[in-house]
Amino acid sequence: MTLDTRWLKLEGLDNVRDVGGLPISGGGITRSGRLLRSAALHYVTDADVRHLIDVYGLSLVLDLRTAREINRDGPTPIARAGVRTVALTFVPEDGRPLPETGDDSDPLLRNYLGFLTDHPENVVEAARLIAAPDAGPALVHCQAGKDRTGVLVALVLDTIGVEREAVVEDYALSALEVEAMFRRWADALEYPMPDDLTPHMPRAEVIAALLARLDAEHGGAAGWLTANGLEPGAVGRLRSRLRG
């Protein structure tokens, strides 16, 4: 897949792309048609639903939002159409302070580390579900599809051996969709666009720093996942499902 073909052009869904076509260290690429990543699904149209189910074959949605976010927006059209949807929040419902790192780490990095310390069982379960033997094409999303989704997808891609530069580049691609997402939300909720979107942009150096920390402490994302309960067999299945 090329970058142009990785993006899905849907009417009511932003920041949606296939993780296929990424280079794997030692040769090969990731498979297309296995895993999508996107922003939240509650604006998808009937045509979008038909495309995701009938054309893409979507059979599993991993929703990384909080219960508060999910209850606010209600069931997504994808869930109402019968696609299995599993809620796996990465953030405590009552919020939390950023984890202490003992240095002057970027607050966004500390926030991402918080996902891994607040709900490690949900991060692991998300990877387990993607790797399940009977899993069909899956989609993972949060609200914007860039932070919670970005961390999970980066961990999955690193686990299956995608080249580090490609993992970081995939994460950073969400910056191209931030303005469109905020414009959709502003129009739907009738509030003004922010004057400055810079604070909302994903930054490549942050996900690179997160992965470097996992390298140093666990030998990579696969080591972190297995240390937190993912079975070695699931790691192997993840690689088999997503590697070409």
pLDDT at 211 over 80: yes
Enter the pTM of the model: 0.94
102: pLDDT strictly greater than 60: no
Please tell me the distance from the alpha carbon of residue 226 to that of residue 228, in angstroms, as a whole number.
5
34-51: average pLDDT: 97
Structural domains in the chain, CATH included, are 3-230 (3.90.190.10)
Query: What confidence score (pLDDT) does residue 95 get?
Result: 67
pLDDT, position 244? 84
pLDDT bucket at 192, cuts 50 / 70 / 90: confident
**pLDDT score for 98:** 57
CA distance 78 to 109: 32
Question: Listing from the earlier edge strand, what are the strands of the sheet with 60-63?
Answer: 17-18, 35-38, 138-141, 60-63, 84-87
To the nearest 10°, the Cα dihedral for 130, 35, 72, 183? 160
> What is d(CA 45, CA 17) in angstroms, rounded to the nearest whole number?
17
Average pLDDT score over residue span 29-52: 97
**How many residues would you count in the chain?**
244
pLDDT at 174: 97
Q: What is the pLDDT of residue 5?
A: 83
Mean pLDDT of 164-182: 96
